Structure 1
Amino acid sequence: MTLLVVGCAVYDKWWPFFVIIFYMLAPIPMLLAKRYNASGMGPSNPCQELAVFLTMGIVISAFGLPIVLARSPPDDPAIQVAAMWYVLGGNIIVFLTIVGFFITFGNDDVDYSMW
């Protein structure tokens, strides 16, 4: 989050801050799929496959937004290229944290209903 705020504040354009929406949306499909337990489906669950697909779309969108903002009209881009790199670095750290969460709490012993 620090890299995201630095990328926005130093260059005084707050458009990249919209990636926070993607940060909040990314774990939702996997958390919902974890609650759905289809018996007899084998190791590959269609609900879980859809959740992975949706999560990857959200993650790719989070990386694509700052790139598109930096590549907008060349004479007056929405954000500077350096701000784009700050946001992309922040994206890597945030999404690795989310992956770490699912690795830590991804086993069947943890009950998500405690939250």
Structure 2
Amino acid sequence: MHQGSRSSRTRSRGGREGALLSSTTHRCLSGFCPGEMAGIKALISLSFGGAIGLMFLMLGCALPVYDKYWPLFLLFFYILSPIPYCISRRVVDDTDSTSNACKELAIFLTTGIVISAFGLPIIFARAEVIAWGACALVLTGNVVIFGTILGFFLVFGSNDDFSWQQW
């Protein structure tokens, strides 16, 4: 069925309802509404950012010049960093406009995890477990990955139709 017969059929229903139905079917004929495309583009760009960050981490570990895999312990920090905030979002009711102790504790724990993730490669480099060049690559990967995690919560953290809480 092509678009012309669909719009004429919706106009035959008459009134505002037919015009509203016509405009809705016209915008979403391809299967993707404009709001969904923005979410998909954001998800693709965040995936690309995560891949770039992990590439820097792997380069800091696997290049023949460095050849030490101690920085892979940072993967635990990447996994642990969003957990306190996700738990507090589930527990806390967002209707309260005042400060909440549970949310502040979650932000404090997340900050501690992120700072530890930046401190560990520096401690490894000062103890001469890894080279300073590997430390620089791992710190660059940290910036990219934690920026990607922050971007994920900024893009998908709102309570709209395309939210990560629905997953």
Query: TM-score normalized by structure 2?
Result: 0.62
Q: Does 1:35 align with 2:86?
A: no
1:59 aligned partner: 114
Deviates more, 1:59-68 or 1:33-42: 33-42
Matched residue type, 1:96: G
Q: Which has the larger radius of gyration?
A: 2
Aligned-pair identity in percent equals 50
Give the one of 72, 82, 104 matched to 1:17.
Answer: 72
RMSD over aligned Cα atoms: 1.5
Q: Does 1:105 align with 2:150?
A: no
Matched residue type, 2:157: G
Matched residue type, 1:8: C
Q: Does 1:91 align with 2:142?
A: yes
Note the C-alpha offset of 1:99: 0.5
Matched residue type, 1:85: A
Q: Kindly tell me: are residues 97 and 53 of structure 1, through their superposed partners in 2, closer, same or farther at Cα, counting changes over 3 Å? A: same
Matches of 1:12 and 1:50, distance apart in 2: 38
Matched residue type, 1:17: L
Matches of 2:95 and 2:58, distance apart in 1: 47
Matches of 1:101 and 1:26, distance apart in 2: 13
The answer on whether the counterparts of 2:81 and 2:113 sit within 8 Å (CA) in structure 1 is yes
Matches of 1:57 and 1:83, distance apart in 2: 23
Number of aligned positions between the proteins: 110
Would you tell me which structure has more helix in proportion to its own residues? Answer: 2
User: Tell me, which stretches of 5 or more residues in structure 2 are unaligned?
Assistant: 1-53
Matched residue type, 2:62: A
Matches of 1:40 and 1:55, distance apart in 2: 23
Equivalent position SS for 1:107: coil
2:3 aligned partner: none
Q: Which one scores higher on RCO, CA 8 angstroms, separation ≥ 6?
A: 1
